[in-house]
């Protein structure tokens, strides 16, 4: 089988269910369970109600209603616009207007001006729909809007299938697994990997509603997805962490996993976490492998079908020596088809020879292992003739027992060009660290030129609505 072949939701085969191959616990969301036949029958009923639509909005709460709405649209070949349930008025209006969504499917916010198409959990239809073409747009996913208004990322069915098959290969993910997570259903991590992944592979899904340590431990899965905040909480709860010891893989993504959390998870569970890298535009392009090396702070090698390279500001190649920092560029079958209605923005993120410019800076070693060191716009610091990634310094500082949060930036300096400054939130219950001790801590772990020239203790870091640190406000 080639990557990306077969129907997108290949485990949802009505003929197999009719022949007796049902799965009683195909999807469980916050305690509500749907069998494979429930899912097919109810989602096909949804498909019948939206089959004439072009694009519909789904208020992506973690419920079986959201699952049925998404699956019904995929059966019918209708494009889904997942909407974060906590969207503010301005964000909501922008997404609906920009996407030209024709209706809400399932739940809808109060006061909406769009028609609402209900999702009925107990309705059933056994109509058969042909598999839509692989270039059909499955989702318009909106970016977080850190550099302006959120952009609609166009993801095709073929790209999603290729991306999921590459991950199944890297993680040895099969129908024998039970996936557990409690992630939001409006981004790549929770929606594409966490919902469509099981429906393609055929593994049961348990969505815990909220990603709490107790809920993860109680689910008794084999494969767990989480973001670093989730894993940090698990690592602080020894009882819950030990409850994951019978799992096969713990996968962390969406942000760098602090090395102390990585090591603590390994100590408590006996499992070495899998780390991976991707973005809305590319899905997952890099990952450590179930059958390969896993290093704390590194996101592994390209998944099947993906190529990567590093370039400097002039477009020249950057050596793969594990130290030299360059802009990361990728290409592969799981990349997006562009930004909705924004041809200039789409063109701007591709090179003339067909590579996607991620906007992230990274290092690659001689074995092809990748480490992401931050965003090029705010995390690449040019200090004293060196090119330094802020993320590497942040990871080192997070390993200090008196540090809870940290953001590293480059501030203007007449001598160095930029000086490395660390904004540190001290850990509750511990004495405030001495700035010089933190500087020495970094100098002992990394090259001396990567040490902060200044450490500022702060009570909190500025964040946007999505929780991302707004480094441009640090000065």
pLDDT digit string (tens) for 356-368?
A: 999 999 999 999 9
C-alpha span between 265 and 369 (Å, rounded): 22
Coil/strand/helix, residue 25: coil
The more confidently predicted of residues 276 and 428 is: 276
| Other residues' Cβ atoms within 10 Å of the Cβ of residue 212 | 16
The answer to whether 333 and 326 have CB atoms below 8 angstroms apart is: no
147: pLDDT strictly greater than 80: no
Question: β-pairing, 307-311 with 326-331?
Answer: antiparallel
The answer to whether 420 and 393 have CB atoms below 8 angstroms apart is: yes
283: pLDDT strictly greater than 90: yes
C-alpha span between 100 and 92 (Å, rounded): 12
- H or E stretch at 119: none
| Other residues' Cβ atoms within 10 Å of the Cβ of residue 173 | 26
Best CA proximity match to 29, nearest among 141, 121, 144: 121
Task: Say which DSSP state 470 is in.
Answer: -
328: pLDDT strictly greater than 60: yes
C-alpha span between 390 and 461 (Å, rounded): 15
Q: If you average pLDDT over residues 306-320, what whole number do you get?
A: 95
What is the model's pLDDT at position 4?
Answer: 63
C-alpha span between 275 and 235 (Å, rounded): 16
Partners of residue 275 on adjacent β-strands: 252
H-state helical runs in 213-360: 213-219, 228-235, 238-242, 259-269, 343-348
Q: What is the number of alpha carbons within 13 Å of residue 88 lying toward its C-beta? A: 8
Best CA proximity match to 249, nearest among 219, 284, 273: 273
C-alpha span between 395 and 173 (Å, rounded): 29
The answer to whether 107 and 70 have CB atoms below 8 angstroms apart is: no
pLDDT band at 426 (very low <50, low <70, confident <90, very high): very high
Q: 384-473: which CATH number, 3.30.300.30, 2.30.30.280, 3.40.50.880, 1.10.10.1200? A: 3.30.300.30
Q: Tokens standing for 389?
A: 């990634």
Percent residues over pLDDT 70 in the chain: 97
Q: If you average pLDDT over residues 391-409, what whole number do you get?
A: 89
Q: Provide Rg for the chain, Cα atoms.
A: 23
DSSP state letters, 120-151: -TT-------PPPPTTSEEEEEEP--TTSSPP
Helix axes 259-269, 228-235, angle to 10 degrees: 50
Best CA proximity match to 230, nearest among 248, 220, 217, 221: 217
345: pLDDT strictly greater than 80: yes
What is the model's pLDDT at position 111?
Answer: 83
CA 69-74-80 angle, to 5 degrees, is: 60
- CA 299, 301, 306, 309 torsion-angle sign: positive
What is the model's pLDDT at position 17?
Answer: 81
C-alpha dist (Å) from residue 345 to 24, 135, 152, 338, 350: 45, 21, 11, 8, 9
C-alpha span between 282 and 102 (Å, rounded): 27
What is the model's pLDDT at position 1?
Answer: 43
Q: What is the number of alpha carbons within 13 Å of residue 107 lying toward its C-beta? A: 15
C-alpha span between 460 and 70 (Å, rounded): 37
Q: Give the pLDDT confidence of 199-251 residue by residue, as tens digits.
A: 999 999 999 999 999 999 999 999 999 998 899 899 999 999 999 999 999 99
Coil/strand/helix, residue 327: strand
pLDDT band at 258 (very low <50, low <70, confident <90, very high): confident
Best CA proximity match to 77, nearest among 48, 57, 34, 118: 48
Partners of residue 405 on adjacent β-strands: 425
Best CA proximity match to 340, nearest among 94, 99, 147, 77: 99
What is the model's pLDDT at position 376?
Answer: 81
The answer to whether 74 and 66 have CB atoms below 8 angstroms apart is: no
pLDDT band at 148 (very low <50, low <70, confident <90, very high): low
Partners of residue 307 on adjacent β-strands: 331
Q: Tokens standing for 261?
A: 């959390």
Q: If you average pLDDT over residues 453-459, what whole number do you get?
A: 94
The answer to whether 65 and 106 have CB atoms below 8 angstroms apart is: yes
2: pLDDT strictly greater than 60: no
**Count of residues for the chain?**
475
The answer to whether 188 and 285 have CB atoms below 8 angstroms apart is: no
- H or E stretch at 197: helix 197-201
Lowest mean pLDDT among 150-159, 317-326, 375-384: 375-384
Query: In the sheet that 104-105 helps form, which strands lie side by side, from edge to edge?
Result: 116-117, 104-105, 55-59, 79-83, 137-142, 152-156
């Amino acid at each position: 089988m080639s990557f990306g072949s077969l129907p997108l939701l290949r485990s949802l085969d009505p003929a197999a269910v009719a022949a007796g191959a049902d799965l009683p616990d195909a999807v469980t969301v916050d305690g509500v369970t749907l069998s494979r036949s429930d899912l097919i029958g109810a989602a096909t009923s949804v498909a019948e109600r939206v089959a004439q639509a072009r694009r519909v909005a789904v208020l992506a709460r973690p419920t079986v209603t959201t699952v049925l709405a998404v699956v019904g649209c995929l059966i019918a070949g209708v494009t889904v616009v997942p909407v974060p349930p906590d969207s503010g008025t301005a964000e909501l209006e922008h997404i609906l207007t920009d996407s030209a969504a024709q209706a809400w499917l399932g739940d809808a916010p109060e006061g909406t001006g769009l028609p609402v198409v209900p999702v009925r959990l107990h309705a059933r239809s056994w109509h058969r729909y042909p598999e839509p073409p692989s270039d059909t747009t499955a989702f318009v996913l909106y970016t977080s809007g850190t550099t302006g208004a959120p952009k609609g990322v166009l993801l095709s069915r073929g790209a999603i299938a290729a991306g999921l098959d590459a991950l199944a290969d890297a993680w040895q993910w099969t129908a024998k697994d039970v996936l557990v997570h409690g992630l939001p259903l409006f981004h790549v991590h929770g929606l594409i990997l966490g919902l469509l992944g099981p429906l393609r592979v055929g593994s049961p899904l348990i969505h815990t509603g909220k990603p709490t340590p107790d809920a993860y431990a109680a689910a008794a899965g084999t494969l767990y997805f989480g973001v670093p905040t989730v894993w940090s909480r698990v690592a602080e709860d020894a009882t819950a962490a030990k409850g994951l010891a019978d799992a096969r893989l713990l996968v962390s993504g969406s942000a760098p996993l602090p090395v102390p959390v990585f090591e603590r998870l390994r100590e408590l569970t006996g499992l070495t976490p899998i780390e991976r890298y991707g973005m809305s535009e590319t899905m997952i392009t890099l990952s450590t492998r179930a059958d390969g090396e896993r290093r704390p702070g590194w996101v592994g090698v390209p998944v099947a079908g993906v190529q990567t390279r590093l370039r400097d500001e002039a477009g020249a190649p950057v050596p793969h020596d594990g130290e030299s920092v360059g802009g990361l560029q990728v290409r592969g079958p799981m990349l997006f088809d562009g930004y909705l209605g924004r041809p200039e923005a789409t063109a701007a993120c591709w090179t003339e020879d067909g590579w996607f410019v991620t906007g992230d800076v990274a290092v690659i070693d001689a074995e092809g292992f990748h480490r992401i060191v931050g965003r090029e716009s705010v995390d690449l610091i040019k200090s004293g003739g060196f090119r330094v990634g802020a993320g590497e310094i942040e990871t080192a500082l997070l390993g200090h027992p008196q540090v809870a949060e940290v953001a590293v930036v480059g501030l203007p300096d007449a001598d160095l060009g930029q000086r490395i400054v660390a904004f540190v939130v001290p850990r509750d219950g511990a004495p405030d660290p001495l700035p010089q001790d933190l500087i020495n801590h970094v100098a002992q772990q990394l090259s001396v030129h990567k040490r902060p020239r200044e450490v500022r203790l702060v009570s909190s870091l500025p964040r946007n609505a999505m929780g991302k640190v707004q480094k441009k406000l640090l000065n």
